[in-house]
């Protein structure tokens, strides 16, 4: 696959009105509109998550869906969805609340967005796709005056042995502040913070860390002290939170430069 040189991004003036959120190089990110777009993102999710049935749930109807497309072919190369919450009091309405006890976030004062079902088409390997996705997210977060971004960050498969250095790294450097720390709710979890005593091999840890989670951590994100073993999705996932006000200024500048 040949990638065009990068060009200056452009952003729609009103991210809430639908249409294009961000256009950069050969990719554009836009908000989904209608049943056809919902079907397209569900098909991509089904391909990426390798589920036997179409990946869909009740949250699809209440979330905003972002589609990242190749402008040459209109191919859908990435998608994710966002649920806007007015504050911590609404956190029980989130997808993540099915798996984590989030009562620590009930007193969070500020708008929140849950980002979920993030996936990139397995045939497309280009770092600009992730950059455009995060640029679109930044534009949306700024337009909605969001103060916290959160969701479930997934590791492929359910074998914890494959990710011990990554989990050890999360334990030693990236656990949630005690006031926000999610408690155990799911019946099948890996309590890595309590069980692991090993010192992480930083290189191995980062190689096994999912790209989305790695980006969260680079911005100051934090995780739960346990991973949920999700047999249905064939993943291990950790609750991940990112307080917008805690993002390092230099990282904010980079994100907003991508977002325009």
Report DSSP state, residue 175: B
Residue 116 pLDDT: 95
Q: Rounded distance, CA 73 to CA 76, Å?
A: 9
Q: Rounded distance, CA 124 to CA 245, Å?
A: 33
Reduced to 3 states, what is the DSSP secondary structure of residue 173? helix
Contact 169, 209 (CB under 8 A): yes
Region class of 137: left (phi > 0), else alpha (psi between -120 and 50), else beta: alpha
pLDDT in tens, the chain (260 residues): 333 333 333 333 333 445 898 998 999 999 999 999 999 999 999 999 988 899 999 999 999 999 999 999 999 999 999 999 999 999 999 999 999 999 999 999 999 999 999 999 999 999 999 999 999 998 898 889 999 999 999 999 999 999 999 999 999 999 999 999 999 999 999 999 999 999 999 999 999 999 889 999 999 999 999 999 999 899 999 999 999 988 888 887 777 776 66
Write out the DSSP string of 120-152. E-TT---HHHHHHHHHHHHHHHHHHTEEEEEEE
Look up the CATH number of domain 18-259.
3.40.630.30
Contact 162, 192 (CB under 8 A): no
Strands 222-223 and 235-243: antiparallel
Report DSSP state, residue 61: G
Within 10 angstroms of residue 86's Cβ, the number of other Cβ atoms is 9
Rg for the chain, CA atoms, rounded: 18
Query: In the numeric block, which tokens belong to residue 154?
Result: 């997934």
Residue 17 pLDDT: 42
Residue the block writes with tokens 């209109």: 74
Strands 111-120 and 146-156: parallel
Supply φ then ψ for residue 127, to 5 degrees: -60, -25
Look up the pTM and report it.
Answer: 0.88
Cα 61 from chain centroid (whole Å): 18
Sorted by where each begins, the domain ranges of the chain are 18-259
């Amino acid at each position: 696959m040949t990638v065009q040189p990068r060009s200056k991004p452009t952003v729609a003036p009103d991210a809430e009105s639908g249409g294009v959120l961000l256009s950069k190089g050969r990719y554009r990110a836009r908000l989904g509109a209608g049943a056809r777009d919902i079907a397209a993102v569900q098909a991509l999710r089904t391909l990426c998550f390798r589920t036997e049935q179409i990946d869909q749930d009740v949250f699809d109807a209440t979330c905003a869906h972002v589609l990242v497309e190749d402008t040459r072919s209109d191919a859908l190369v990435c998608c994710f969805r966002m649920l806007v919450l007015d504050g911590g009091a609404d956190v029980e309405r989130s997808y993540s609340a099915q798996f984590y006890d989030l009562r620590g976030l009930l007193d969070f004062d500020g708008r929140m967005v849950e980002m979920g079902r993030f996936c990139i088409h397995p045939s497309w390997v280009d770092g600009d796709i992730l950059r455009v996705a995060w640029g679109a997210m930044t534009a949306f977060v700024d337009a909605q005056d969001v103060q916290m971004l959160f969701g479930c960050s997934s590791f492929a498969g359910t074998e914890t042995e494959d990710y011990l250095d990554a989990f050890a790294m999360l334990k030693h450097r990236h656990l949630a502040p005690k006031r926000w720390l999610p408690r155990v709710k799911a019946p099948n979890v890996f309590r890595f913070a309590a069980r692991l005593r090993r010192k992480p091999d930083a290189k191995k840890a980062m190689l096994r860390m999912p790209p989305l989670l790695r980006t969260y951590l680079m911005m100051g994100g934090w995780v739960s002290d346990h991973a949920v073993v999700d047999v249905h999705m064939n993943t291990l996932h950790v609750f991940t939170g990112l307080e917008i006000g805690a993002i390092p200024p230099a990282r904010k500048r980079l994100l907003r430069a991508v977002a325009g």
